[in-house]
């Protein structure tokens, strides 16, 4: 999924892996951060693979900045946030969660038509994913 690359560019983060010596759980274990990243990732994937759906780019970028701000407010350092966003393991894990989400809706994540259907459904129900998308 190219969403993590987009997230890195949007948040303006770069660097290597470093774990802070705090009692904080990894960001992947903080639902208010991890779930929001999943919604953005799904919206990016849908918009990239469905010609009839466009991203709401500014809305998505603002949302990414708010996620970063939330993580900072929770006490996570720039390095911890960067590590979470850039980690290959996290990219794979978010992809797997996204594919499971699509399958849980009775759709096949490998089929572009199914992602388009999911995108239309999310737009229709005004979900967080749908808020990042618009029908062309």
pLDDT tens-place string over residues 81-126: 999 999 999 999 999 999 999 999 999 999 999 999 999 999 999 9
Asked if residue 20 has pLDDT above 70, the reply is no
The pLDDT confidence band at residue 54, using thresholds 50, 70 and 90, is very high
Q: Where are the domains of the chain?
A: 3-8+36-135
3-state secondary structure of 128: helix
> Of 26, 39, 19, 41, which is closest to residue 126 (Cα–Cα)?
39
| pLDDT value at residue 9 | 42
- DSSP state letter for 54: E
- CA dihedral of 65, 67, 69, 73, whole degrees rounded to 10: 180
Task: Give yes or no for a contact between 77 and 88, defined as CB atoms under 8 angstroms apart.
Answer: no
């Amino acid at each position: 999924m190219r969403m993590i690359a987009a997230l890195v560019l949007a948040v303006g983060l770069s660097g290597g892996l470093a774990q802070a010596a705090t009692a904080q759980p990894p960001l992947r274990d903080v639902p208010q951060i991890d779930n929001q990243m999943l919604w953005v990732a799904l919206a990016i994937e849908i918009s990239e693979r469905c010609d009839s759906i466009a991203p709401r780019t500014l809305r998505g970028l603002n949302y990414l900045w708010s996620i970063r701000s939330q993580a900072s407010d929770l006490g996570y350092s720039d390095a911890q946030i960067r590590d979470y966003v850039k980690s290959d393991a996290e990219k794979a894990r978010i992809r797997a969660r996204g594919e499971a989400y699509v399958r849980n809706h009775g759709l096949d994540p490998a089929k572009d038509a199914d992602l388009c259907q999911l995108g239309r459904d999310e737009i229709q129900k005004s979900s967080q994913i749908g808020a990042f998308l618009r029908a062309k």
